Amino acid sequence: MKSRWLNIIALLVLVFQYLPILVLIVFSFDESRLAVRWTGFTFAWYKALLNEDTLISAFKNSLLVASISVIVAGAMGTMAAIGLARLRFAGEDFYRALLMLPIIIPEIAMAVAALSLFLAMGLKLSLATIIVSHIVFCVAYVTLTVMGRLEGMDPKLEEAAQDLGAPPLVAFFKVTLPLLMPGIIAGCLLAFVLSLDDFIITQFTAGVGDTTLPLWIYGSVKFGVKPTINALSTLMILGTVGTSLLAEVIRSRKT
């Protein structure tokens, strides 16, 4: 009896979480502009997205910010993960906690802190300030993912390569890095999705005219939710879920 009630409660929670998303996806294919009552099936709103010049510009900005942020964060996060896993030094636990802080603290606090820093340094808000802000939290996610990969890797493999005559640097690039690559790719994919979808930090650190995709959506829904917003949101959901699943598949690979 208890098990049945737990199943019912779990089902209600899932319905509460995913019903709004399902409604959004369904009405993205509705002919009506009001999105309150189903009138007929259409792909017109998806086609209309191609005619939104400001949307395309915002999407390019988001791709630029996410790509640069992930490249830099991928390199920094990988080096940080290897250093934390291999080296023992004073204050190691403190440094580890400090590195993971962007995941823990509220995003609004990070946004205000980043804005205050840029203003104090006299920097003009632009895509560059958005990128720097995104790198900060992307590094934490990449580091965490790569560290998880390192914990499941046998350090004796690199030692064996060195025993066979390979210099430490060669052993790293020929043995360690290929084994870490699934974790690095998974961490970068996760960071890419987070950067692409970020709104709060981007809102605080963006300059005039530096509109990204989340900012464009926010500006558009101020005047009502248009069917094109439903279509765009559906594409973003599919892209985010697909990328996250791909990252999980890559991360869980043993070789």
Comparing 119-133, 158-172, 179-193, 194-208, which segment has the lowest mean pLDDT?
A: 158-172
Give residue 111's pLDDT.
Answer: 93
The answer for 193, left when phi > 0, alpha when psi is -120 to 50, beta otherwise, is alpha
Question: Tell me, what DSSP letter sits at residue 41?
Answer: B
Closest by alpha carbon to 95, among 74, 113, 79, 109? 79
pLDDT at 89 over 80: no
Residue 244 exposed, middle or buried by CB count within 10 Å (0-12, 13-18, 19+):
middle
C-alpha span between 228 and 168 (Å, rounded): 54
- Residues 154 and 53 reside in one and the same domain: yes
Better-predicted residue by pLDDT, 255 or 168: 168
In total, how many domains does the chain have?
2
pLDDT digits (tens, 9 = 90+) for 29-44: 888 777 667 778 888 8
Q: What is the CATH number of the domain that holds 49?
A: 1.10.3720.10
Give residue 125's pLDDT.
Answer: 92
CA angle 104–84–76, rounded 5-degree value: 75
- Residues 115 and 206 reside in one and the same domain: yes
Give residue 70's pLDDT.
Answer: 94
Give residue 203's pLDDT.
Answer: 93
Closest by alpha carbon to 228, among 217, 213, 243? 217
Give residue 134's pLDDT.
Answer: 94
- Residues 135 and 230 reside in one and the same domain: yes
C-alpha span between 116 and 122 (Å, rounded): 10
pTM: 0.82
- Residues 243 and 131 reside in one and the same domain: yes
- Residues 33 and 50 reside in one and the same domain: no
Closest by alpha carbon to 139, among 110, 116, 163? 110
Better-predicted residue by pLDDT, 177 or 156: 177
- Residues 95 and 158 reside in one and the same domain: yes
Band (pLDDT 50/70/90 cuts) for residue 130 is very high
Comparing 44-48, 87-91, 189-193, 250-254, which segment has the lowest mean pLDDT?
A: 250-254
Better-predicted residue by pLDDT, 132 or 50: 132
- Residues 38 and 86 reside in one and the same domain: no
- Residues 33 and 53 reside in one and the same domain: no
Rank 64-73, 150-159, 186-195 by mean pLDDT and report only the highest.
64-73
- Residues 20 and 71 reside in one and the same domain: no
pLDDT at 255 over 60: no
pLDDT digits (tens, 9 = 90+) for 211-228: 898 998 888 877 777 788
Q: Which residues of 92-128 are buried (b: 16+ CB within 10 A; e: fewer)?
A: eeeeeeebbebeeeeeeebbeebbeebeeeeeebebb
Residue 217 CB: number of other CB atoms within 10 A?
17
Domain that holds residue 25: 1-42
- Residues 246 and 128 reside in one and the same domain: yes
- Residues 29 and 150 reside in one and the same domain: no
Rank 58-72, 90-104, 221-235 by mean pLDDT and report only the highest.
58-72
Band (pLDDT 50/70/90 cuts) for residue 2 is low
DSSP string, 154-186: -THHHHHHHHTT--HHHHIIIIIHHHHHHHHHH
Contact 99, 83 (CB under 8 A): no
Band (pLDDT 50/70/90 cuts) for residue 1 is low
Q: What distances in angstroms separate CA 188 from CA 29, 62, 193, one per listed residue? A: 32, 15, 9
Phi, psi torsion values for 97, nearest 5 degrees: -65, -40
Segment 81-87 shows an average pLDDT of: 82
Question: Tell me, what DSSP letter sits at residue 90?
Answer: T
C-alpha span between 129 and 124 (Å, rounded): 8
- Residues 32 and 58 reside in one and the same domain: no
